[in-house]
């Protein structure tokens, strides 16, 4: 049910769609389909100026609808498994730039969060924002000890604004799934739920600070990546204070070249950072677009904005590495086997058929020089092929693919000859060698040693008890399964029904004898009749109960 506030917002959305020549979207809905012919009679259809391609008009409409829709479009751009390639590529151009809110409001939010005047904590605070986005904006400041910092502040009432638009998105998604012919295939409700989780996670700046702190610890002594320090004593849910960094935006290629930085080194280093985050630390920055990356004069990357991070399970990590290595070696049968073993595709999938589909996708790609092959788009083609075999969408892999596309695009922007495959293969082979073999065995043994040592002293006592029980004939094999429990219950029930039937039959027979032959001189006739009737009725009841119980079980 659409609430009045949602109805007004929906009217505004439709007006924006009309302004951008997207009336076909409106008239494609169930409500307006009967009057769709009116589109050809309307003046805006014949005289509108915006004749851009459909994906371009969608992007411009989302930009006009505001920051929440911009972010939604950004997330949709990563879902190549759901959207046409042209639309996904266009949505990737969405820029999260919105007008700043007044610096005085930012100051008031900070002071309310700290419950004290800002001057007691900071020497200086610049009310002119350094950057402004849909969720928060950033100001520069200086601590009492002279250190320069940046202060990230959530927008006022942002949660209320987000909740309003997300609720509307949920309503629209449910309507689309019900009335739009493509609704079930594109699963709009699932997409909106995924978006809701992502965007509300970004509202907790303590969470973002924890992400930054973890990533900084992983790369503390790295020459490839620097992560600014978090000032925990000044960080709250709606205020995040961290070290101010100085570097050149990674997109400013000319400035980087003028500093004498090797573009080849930067391109390869970006790939190495990505694979280190994924396979060594299992914790990767999942929003590494050019706006979040800077470069120091020595060629070291600096990362900012840690609202979206990704992780993989150990099983996913292992299967992903093995899949990539199998692709490097063009072992398509192994790729198909790994997809089945991991459960990414149904176990009833025919291995040979799946292998053939993967070969069909891969062979034309491998005919190109390696430097011209897009790693990210190759994974995308693979996922799209696997979808034909009912491969379940793996959210963690979608996030990984998006990050890989960003890294690859950035690397080739810096160094067009970047061969991501050659850069990645040695890294993956080294990682796999650490997961199997003698070295891996010793490592896992060392990791589990504390737990083994904890239980080791009790082992002789437990073994002695087992031997004593075996010698005394008291050792039992305890086997538990759902089928065995069900069988045990069935036997117990059958036994109970048998006893009930016997008892009922005996009572019925006794009652019949009493009614037929009377008391035989031992009981008065009236009492014999009463006992006979009672026993007969009780016996009949027990027999009926036994029969009903047996019928239910069958």
The string of pLDDT tens digits covering residues 446-487 is 666 677 666 667 777 777 777 776 666 655 555 555 555 655
| 227-to-120, 206, 270, 406 alpha-carbon distances in Å | 27, 16, 14, 19
SS (H, E, C) 434-453: HHCCHHHHHHHHHHHHHHHH
pLDDT score of 521: 46
Q: Which helix (H) or strand (E) holds 56?
A: helix 54-65
Residues 6+ apart with CB under 8 A from 303: 215, 225, 226, 227, 285, 288, 292, 293
Q: 144 with 164: CB under 8 angstroms?
A: no
pLDDT for residue 531 = 46
Question: Kind and range of the H or E element at 420?
Answer: helix 420-435
Predicted confidence band of residue 528 (pLDDT cuts 50, 70, 90) = very low
- The pLDDT tens digits of the residues spanning 392-447 come to 666 666 677 777 777 777 887 888 887 777 777 787 777 777 776 566 666 666 66
Beta carbons of 215 and 285 less than 8 angstroms apart: yes
Give the catalytic positions in this structure.
Answer: 287
- Whether residue 147 is predicted with pLDDT greater than 90 in this model: the reply is yes
Alpha-carbon gap, residue 255 to 296, rounded angstroms:
11
**DSSP-based three-state secondary structure for 308:** coil
Look at residue 164 in the predicted model and tell me its pLDDT.
83
Question: What is the token pair recorded at 62?
Answer: 């989302």
Is 105's pLDDT higher than 90? yes
Is a pLDDT exceeding 60 seen at residue 271? yes
Neighbours of 388 (CB within 10 A): 10
Q: What is the mean pLDDT of the chain?
A: 76
Task: Say how many C-beta atoms besides its own lie within 10 A of residue 297's C-beta.
Answer: 12
pLDDT band at 495 (very low <50, low <70, confident <90, very high): low
Q: Which residues contact 379 (CB under 8 A, 6 or more apart)?
A: 401, 404
* 8-17, 142-151, 277-286, 326-335: least confidently modelled range: 8-17
Output the CA–CA distances (angstroms, integers) from residue 317 to 321, 396, 452, in the order listed. 6, 10, 26
- Most confident listed range (50-59, 146-155, 364-373): 146-155
* pTM for this model (two decimals): 0.68
Model confidence over 355-395: pLDDT tens digits? 998 888 888 777 666 567 676 667 667 766 776 777 666 66
pLDDT score recorded for residue 225: 95
CA distances from 71 to 77, 195, 203, 354 (A): 10, 9, 13, 36
């Amino acid at each position: 049910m659409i609430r009045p506030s949602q109805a007004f917002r929906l009217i505004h959305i439709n007006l924006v769609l009309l302004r951008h020549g997207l009336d076909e979207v409106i008239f494609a809905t169930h409500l307006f389909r009967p009057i769709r012919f009116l589109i050809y009679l309307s003046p805006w259809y014949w005289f509108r100026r915006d004749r851009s391609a459909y994906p371009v008009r969608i992007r411009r409409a989302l930009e006009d609808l505001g920051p929440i829709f911009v972010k939604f479009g950004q997330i949709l751009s990563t879902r190549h498994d759901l959207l046409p390639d042209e639309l996904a590529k266009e949505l990737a151009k969405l820029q999260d730039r919105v007008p700043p809110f007044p610096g005085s409001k930012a100051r008031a939010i900070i002071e309310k969060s700290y419950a004290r005047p800002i001057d007691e904590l900071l020497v200086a605070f610049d009310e002119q924002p350094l950057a402004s986005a849909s969720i928060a904006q950033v100001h520069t400041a200086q601590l009492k000890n002279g250190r320069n910092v940046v202060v990230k502040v959530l927008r006022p009432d942002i949660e209320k604004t987000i909740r309003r638009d997300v609720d509307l998105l949920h309503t629209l998604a449910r309507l689309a799934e019900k009335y739009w012919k493509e609704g079930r295939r594109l699963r709009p409700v699932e997409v909106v739920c995924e978006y809701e989780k992502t965007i509300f996670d970004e509202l907790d700046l303590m969470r973002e600070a924890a992400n930054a702190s973890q990533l900084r610890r992983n790369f503390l002594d790295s020459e490839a990546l620097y992560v600014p320090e978090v000032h925990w004593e000044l960080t709250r849910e709606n205020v995040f204070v961290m070290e101010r960094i100085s570097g050149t935006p990674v997109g400013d290629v000319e400035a980087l070249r003028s500093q004498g930085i090797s573009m080849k080194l930067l391109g390869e280093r970006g790939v190495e950072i990505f694979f280190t985050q994924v396979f060594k630390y299992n914790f990767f920055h999942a929003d590494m677009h050019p706006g979040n990356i800077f470069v120091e004069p020595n060629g070291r990357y600096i990362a900012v904005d840690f609202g979206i991070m990704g992780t993989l399970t150990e099983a996913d990590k292992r299967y992903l590495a093995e899949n990539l290595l199998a692709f490097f070696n063009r072992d398509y049968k192994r790729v198909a086997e790994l997809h089945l073993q991991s459960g990414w595709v149904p176990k009833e999938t025919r291995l040979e058929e799946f292998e053939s589909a993967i070969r069909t996708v891969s062979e034309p790609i491998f005919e190109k020089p390696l430097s011209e092959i897009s790693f990210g788009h190759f994974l995308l083609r693979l996922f799209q092929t696997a979808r034909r075999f009912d491969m379940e969408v793996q959210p963690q892999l979608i996030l990984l693919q998006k990050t890989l596309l960003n890294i690859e695009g950035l690397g080739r922007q810096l160094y067009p000859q970047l061969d991501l495959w050659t850069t990645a293969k040695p890294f993956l082979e080294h990682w796999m060698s650490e997961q199997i073999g003698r070295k891996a065995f010793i490592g896992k043994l060392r990791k589990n040693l504390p737990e083994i040592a904890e239980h080791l002293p009790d082992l002789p006592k437990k073994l002695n008890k087992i031997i004593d029980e075996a010698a005394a004939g008291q050792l039992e094999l305890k086997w538990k399964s759902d089928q065995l429990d069900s069988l045990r219950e069935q036997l117990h029930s059958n036994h109970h029904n048998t006893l009930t039937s016997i008892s009922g039959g005996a009572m019925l027979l006794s009652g019949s004898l009493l009614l037929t032959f009377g008391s035989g001189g031992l009981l008065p006739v009236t009492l014999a009749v009463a006992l006979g009737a009672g026993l007969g009725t009780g016996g009949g009841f027990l027999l009926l109960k036994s029969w009903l119980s047996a019928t239910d079980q069958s």
